[in-house]
Structure 1
Amino acid sequence: MEINALLMNANDNIVVCVKDVALGSEVIYSQDGQHCTLIAKDNIPACHKVAIKPIEKGADVLKYGERIGRSTCAIEVGQLVDHNNIYSVPRDYESELIEEADEEVPQFVPTKSGVKFWGYRRAEGRPGIRNHVLILPGCACGSETARIVASQVRGAVNIIFNTGCSDVAANTAMSQKILTGFACNPNVYGVVIIGLGCETVGHKQLREKICAMTSKPVVSFGIQEEGGTLKTIEKAVRAAREMAAQAGMQQKELFDLSELFLGIECGGSDATSGIGSNPAVGELSDLLVDHGASTLLSESIEWIGGEHVLARRAATSKLHNEVIKICRDYEDHLKAVGQDCRAGQPTPGNKAGGLSTLDEKSLGCIRKGGTRPIVEVLQQAERPTRQGAIVMDTAGYDISSVTSMVAAGCQAVIFTTGRGTPTGNAIAPVMKVTANERTYRSMEDNMDYDLSPIVRGEKSYQAMGAELFDEIVAIANGKLTKAEAYGFSDIAVDHVCRFV
């Protein structure tokens, strides 16, 4: 008797089908070592939920042992459970806050050692695992020129920046955090800035900001000052070529794994994300932290519904409350302009992949952060001051979230997906993994690692987390991810309001 559905917690009243189950066919799952069966009363697509107990109208629907929503109608055993018959319940954040004590974050002590990687030493901060010359536009009007410059110099990369002008002060501040953060990322050897001349923060000002933060070589050019695009390209290409030649002379050195800072992301999630890929990445995170490295979990809107679970990992009561307040403030920010986060989360793709509510998505999402104590809570694009498991308040939009994590100094990003995505980042390698067998087969050109053996019951998430650990070490040593090999370069800067 082959299992075709998974029970995530003994208290759950639903199971997730891992294969398509036709109306009238058996749903087979395991509970306490025993095979249980029921008859499907609807067609149940793979990754979708089916009731294993009667659920009354208004009753809690449970997955992972937690409420993922409430039913809008009575649901019989064997019926499909999805976004059409359950809804997300608003959070009571105030009740989740705890009394804060005067506590110090415990001193972090690695429990494992001996793993090293080859990287590029920097005068400040962590070593790079890549040695890019970054062609950095200071505004949207410099982006195409930056692209052309980068295309002419081996070892150079560029980003496409879509703002830099006509912004309120808060938007400008965020853009500057991202641009300076990119320049200071350990994977960057040196920077060539391309400005226009009339942007909010000119290329010379941006250069001065970056030079105040790092001793890396930084030069800048303004298109208006140089007399147009072609003259700017000529000068910038010469500068980038000289910088690339210098970068090519730098030899790799051996560094302890504790110098690694890994961003953790998800996008295009489906039910296999919470079942397979996110737990495996959570295991990877724990292994890295145990070796003294740091990991960064973001996308705070996708903590909502699971924020109380995430907050339990906080090393202090203050950090616990910071996690709760981030979610509260995020919802309040949207409500202030008449918006509801549940209108956009889960996305249509998430729903098609079996995720019915924001709560369900979040409870699966936070599993990729592992189990180690959270030692710091960061705002967007902020650099950490501690080692260990860290979280950051970012948007739920995956490209924006990766942008902020790379600006914070992550040398690499691991990206879980159920539906599939080709995304990559010019500065930091993005390793994409999926536990959806169909997605891996159909998008093998984009997926770096297949975690579907977890869903099929062939391997544990712990075993595959250990495999991911070895793969991340290989990437730190220079192995290219698929998005990196293609030269993909996606960024998005979060904004607080409209352009002005």
Structure 2
Amino acid sequence: MTANPQPRTVRLNPDDDVVLAVDGLEPGIAVDGVTVAEKVPRGHKLAARDLAEGETIRKFGQAIGVALRPIAAGEWVHEHNCGMGDHDRDYRFGEDARSLPPAEQAETFQGFRRANGRVGTRNYVGILTSVNCSASVARFVAREVERSGMLDDFPNVDGVIPLVHATGCGMAAHGPGFDTLKRSLWGYASNPNMAAVVMIGLGCEVFQIAMLKDAYGIQEGETFRTLTIQQSGGTRRAVEAGVAAVREMLPVAERARREACPASELTLALQCGGSDGYSGLTANPALGVAADLLVRQGGTAILSETPEIYGAEHLLTRRAASREVGEKLLGVIRWWEEYAARMGGDLNNNPSPGNKAGGLTTILEKSLGAAMKGGTSPLMDVVGYAEPVTTKGFVFMDTPGFDPVSATGQVAGGANVLCFTTGRGSAYGCKPTPSIKLASTTDLFLRMRDDMDLNCGDILDGVSLAEKGEEIFREILAVASGRRTRSECLGYGDAEFVPWQLGATM
């Protein structure tokens, strides 16, 4: 008869007041120098010492909250006894900004070189809408193209995507909300993963297609066409016109061929969703290693989800390439504090119930793990939602924490590949940008095998972060070269275009 193995725990920093229960803990056993006083679920926290009421609780060597009451060593630490409290940060600028050495070997992938010099990892024809009123027509066009079988004659085209949204009218004709939608739509239309785009409007909406064309100096041609339902003569004729436009664009898109391109042409979106207590130990830091490897190749990595770096922003300002960049990040944080207060919200409404079930207690704790996706490279720039990302290296984009909205901003900014870490099991995919799903635990990877591309749970079994980061980087190159992700195989991506809606709906 074999004895039960000793459950695993890990202290992430010598100064931590808690240890992470890698395995579930039962009362009475001794771990990490303390006796477990009550059942602690896997992925949750155990008090490593006695804590007085109001005392700061540290994990990752950083404050994640305060004790709401006295906590004895060996107790389960979670939302019943740990809260936000005061969390003033010591903001410093640039003291940890150390450039990574260039890679010794230049890596390449097989990409689509566009006429403007940018490089795509996919080759889609998109059907964009100016307003929700034209959403059905856009879907009808895509459905008819697929039903007709015409795509069979164009094997180099990855598909036709209807990218629809819920706004475009009942809004102010100027201001942040209007500008955000404008950037999002043109960002998708000009993303290098798009070979060609048809934009469909109703005709009388606030967000006029002519305005978009004027704003960006867009000329219609073989890769960009527009139409409205009203000018076309109604729904059926608009669908016919849309299908005809796609039919004419497909031979143009088909001419694209993959060729060897340097990894510096990759712009990687960093996302996390459905995080758990393991995310900051496995998938997120491993993705950070991969992001650093890409930056060393001259590429770009975009960290986003501003409410989910709240409490960790002081670590990013220390990596700012200049004080100006650091101050831009703090300006974004202050805007979110004011925005949440104005709307009667609280930035600590995140973690979600699923995050909490997975072991995350406060937004401070979640943010410290989420920020690890950004690796260790200097923070080179901070940009607004859906703004073009033109700076190489590690960049932060201001977005909400809601994954589809955040990723939409990154893709509009130019991301041509995306990595998405998850601990609870997010169901997500993205078009036109392929999304690589990284599971934080082996249990999740096996349970949702059809959705997960890589398992980061083996880090708990001894695989190093360096090894896993290299594996993720190799997967990024392979997917950028055409390997289909799990979410692509499942058909995700048609419903995940969700521009951030700012301002009043009228």
1:93-112 alpha-carbon deviations (Å, 9 max, x no partner): 6x6266x99xxx99997334
Change (3 A) 1:208 1:480: farther
The structure 2 residue matched to 1:474, chosen from 478, 485, 488, is: 478
- CA 1:130–1:80 in structure 2 vs 1: closer, same or farther (change >3 Å)? same
Q: 1:242 corresponds to which residue? A: 248
Q: Structure 1 residues 215 and 306 mapped into 2: Cα distance closer, same or farther (>3 Å)?
A: farther
Residue in 2 that maps onto 1:461: 465
CA contact (8 A) 2:222 2:249 kept: no
- Within the candidate set 89, 93, 118, 1:126 is matched to 118
Distance, in Å, in 2 between the alignment partners of 1:281 and 1:192 is 35
Task: Please state if 1:335 is matched with 2:341.
Answer: yes
Pick from 410, 421, 425: which aligns with 1:405? 410
Who is 1:488 aligned against? 492
Match for 2:39 among 43, 57, 61? Answer: 43
Gaps of 5+ in 2: 152-158
Q: Indicate the residue corresponding to 2:134 in structure 1.
A: 142
Distance, in Å, in 1 between the alignment partners of 2:247 and 2:27 is 64
Alpha-carbon distance between aligned partners in 1 of 2:121 and 2:377, rounded to the nearest angstrom: 25
Structure 2 equivalent of residue 394 of structure 1: 399
Change in Cα spacing, 1:112 to 1:203, as seen in structure 2 (3 Å) is same
The answer (yes or no) to whether the contact 1:394–1:404 under 8 Å persists in 2 is yes
Question: 1:449 — aligned with what?
Answer: 454
State the shift of 1:224 in Å. Answer: 1.5
Distance 2:391 2:87 in 1: 30
Contact persistence 1:130–1:478 (CA under 8 A): yes
Please say if residues 98 and 378 of structure 2, whose CA atoms lie closer than 8 Å, have aligned partners that are also in contact. no
The offset of 1:208, in angstroms, is 4.7
Deviation at 1:203, TM superposition (A): 3.1
Aligned match of 1:262 in 240, 265, 268? 268
Distance in 2 (alpha carbons) for counterparts of 1:213 and 1:399: 30
Aligned-partner Cα distance in 1 for 2:35–2:222: 65
Question: What secondary structure sits across from 2:399 in the alignment?
Answer: coil
Letter in 2 for 1:64: F
Return the match for 1:83 from 76, 79, 83: 79
Partner of 1:8: 12
Shift of 1:205: 3.5
Q: 1:205 and 1:65 mapped to 2: Cα distance?
A: 51
Matches of 1:390 and 1:379, distance apart in 2: 11
**Partner residue of 1:280 out of 281, 286, 291:** 286
2:156 aligns with: none
For the 8 Å contact 1:265–1:297, the answer to whether it is kept is yes
The gaps in structure 1 that reach 5 residues or longer are: 28-35
In the alignment, which residue of structure 1 is the partner of 2:163? 159
1:96–1:278 CA distance, 2 compared to 1 (3 A)? same
Cα 1:121–1:213, aligned 2, differ >3 Å: closer, same or farther? farther
Change (3 A) 1:67 1:215: farther
Percent identity reads 35
Q: Cα–Cα, structure 1 residues 112 and 327, in superposed 2: closer, same or farther, change >3 Å? A: farther
Mean Cα displacement is larger for which, 211-220 or 265-274? 211-220
The corresponding residue for 1:179 is 185
Instruction: Decide which moves more: 345-354 or 150-159.
Output: 150-159
Pairing 1:117–2:122 present:
no
The 8 Å contact of residues 437 and 450 in structure 1, kept in 2 or not, is answered as yes
Measure the CA separation in 1 of the matches of 2:257 and 2:217. 23
From 305, 313, 323, the equivalent of 1:317 is 323
User: Residue 57 of structure 1 contacts residue 71 of structure 1 at CA under 8 Å; is this kept in 2?
Assistant: yes
Q: Which residue of 2 aligns with 1:228?
A: 234
Give the conservation status (yes or no) of the 8 Å contact 2:100–2:377. Answer: no
Letter in 2 for 1:74: P
- State the Cα distance separating 1:114 from its structure 2 match: 2.1
| 1:125–1:186 contact (8 Å) kept in structure 2 | no
After superposition, where does 1:294-443 map in structure 2 within 5 Å?
A: 294-342=300-348, 344-443=349-448
Instruction: Name the TM-score, length of structure 2 as normaliser.
Output: 0.91
SS in 2 for 1:263: strand
Aligned-partner residue type, residue 21 of structure 1: L
Describe the SS at the equivalent of 2:278: helix
Give the Cα–Cα distance (whole angstroms) in 2 for the partners of residues 71 and 52 of structure 1: 13
Using the TM superposition, give the Cα deviation of residue 140 of structure 1 relative to its aligned residue in structure 2, in angstroms.
0.8
Cα 1:18–1:157 change in 2 (3 A) is same
Cα separation, 1, equivalents of 2:336 and 2:221: 36
Counterpart of 1:20 (choices 17, 21, 24) is: 24
- Give the count of matched residue pairs: 485
Q: Give the match for residue 91 of structure 2.
A: 96
Structure 2 counterpart SS, 1:212: coil
Change (3 A) 1:464 1:204: same
CA contact (8 A) 1:204 1:220 kept: no
Q: Tell me which moved more, 107-116 or 399-408.
A: 107-116
User: Separation in 2 of the partners of 1:435 and 1:227?
Assistant: 52
Cα shift at 1:496: 2.6
1:65 aligns with 2:61: yes
The aligned residue for residue 55 of structure 1 is 51
Match of 2:154 in 1: none
Give distance in 2, aligned partners of 1:396 and 1:475: 25
Contact 1:139-1:195 within 8 A present in 2 as well: yes
AA aligned opposite 2:164: I
RMSD after superposition: 2.1
